[in-house]
Amino acid sequence: MKLQLALDLVNIPEAIELVKEVEDHIDIVEIGTPIIKIEGLKAVKEIKEAFPNLDVLADLKTMDAAGYEVQKAAEAKADIITILGVAEDESIKGAVAEATKQGKKILVDLIAVKDIESRAKELDEFGVDYICVHTGYDLQAVGKNSFEDLLTIKGVVKNSKTAIAGGIKLETLPEVIKAQPDLVIVGGGITGQDDKKGVAAEMQQLINQG
Ligand SMILES: O=C([C@H](O)CO)[C@H](O)[C@H](O)COP(=O)(O)O
């Protein structure tokens, strides 16, 4: 099980400072959708240059022109690129084909997918690397989380790895770990804490205990 730090509400220099604090305790650093929209793919490039030993995920949340967007993220040295599960099948297949050509990985974000079980089955057959259940900020704000959805996809996914994102905190991490996802994605649960390094270290320890 791996830990991914999600960086969303910061600029590039702030992102570099944050990663410096916790880099010993994370496996993957995510350049979040808001950063990419504001700063562009240079955010991915600069973080990869600053932290070559960490995998970098570009949270493009691609909806169309998937092969092209994956190609551009690969040029910026992203290791993993995200596409939305609600995108057309052709887009998902295009993303997988381009990522395979570039030696990169695809994570499909199930945010806003209504029938999680059926879509996860289909995505698994398309050969995506990760399938991620995700409660975005706007549903977190009305008290939702993705813990049950994780159990649902774990029941049907056979080949892809599973991931979970959305409002995970140190207190809720043990419940997530029980369901054994391959990847746990945490943003505010680390970046919003005073002792970011301490919280990331505790999370890493819990994850390693499995
Ligand atoms: O993907 C995300 C969100 O849609 C904003 O882009 C976040 O990175 C993801 O939700 C993880 O962040 P937290 O919910 O703060 O843990």
Instruction: Please give the distance, rounded to the nearest whole angstrom, from the Cα atom of residue 7 to the centre of ligand 1.
Output: 8
Is the pLDDT at 77 greater than 90? The verdict is yes
CATH of region 2-209: 3.20.20.70
Ligand 1: list residues with CB < 6 Å. 6, 8, 30, 32-34, 59, 136-137, 165-168, 185-189
Confidence band, pLDDT 50/70/90 cuts, at residue 163: very high
Which of 185, 186, 193 is the pocket-test mutation for ligand 1 (most atoms within 8 Å of CB)?
185
User: For residue 9, which of 33, 26, 29, 44 has the smallest C-alpha distance?
Assistant: 33
Supply the pLDDT for residue 210.
86
Supply the pLDDT for residue 105.
98
Instruction: Please give the distance, rounded to the nearest whole angstrom, from the Cα atom of residue 110 to the centre of ligand 1.
Output: 13
Residue 203: burial class (beta carbons within 10 Å; 0-12, 13-18, 19+): buried
Is the pLDDT at 141 greater than 90? The verdict is yes
Domain locations in the chain?
A: 2-209
Per-chain mean pLDDT for the chain: 97
Tell me the percentage of the chain whose pLDDT exceeds 90: 99
Q: What is the pLDDT of residues 43-63, one digit of tens each?
A: 999 999 999 999 999 999 999
Mean pLDDT of 24-53: 98
Mean pLDDT of 115-143: 97
Q: Spell out a b/e string for 99-108, using b for 16 or more CB atoms within 10 Å of the CB, else e.
A: beeeebbbbb
Is the pLDDT at 100 greater than 90? The verdict is yes
Asked whether 43 and 71 are in contact (CB, 8 A), the reply is no
Is the pLDDT at 115 greater than 90? The verdict is yes
Is the pLDDT at 201 greater than 90? The verdict is yes
ipTM over 0.90: yes
Report the nearest-CA residue for atom 16 of ligand 1. Answer: 187
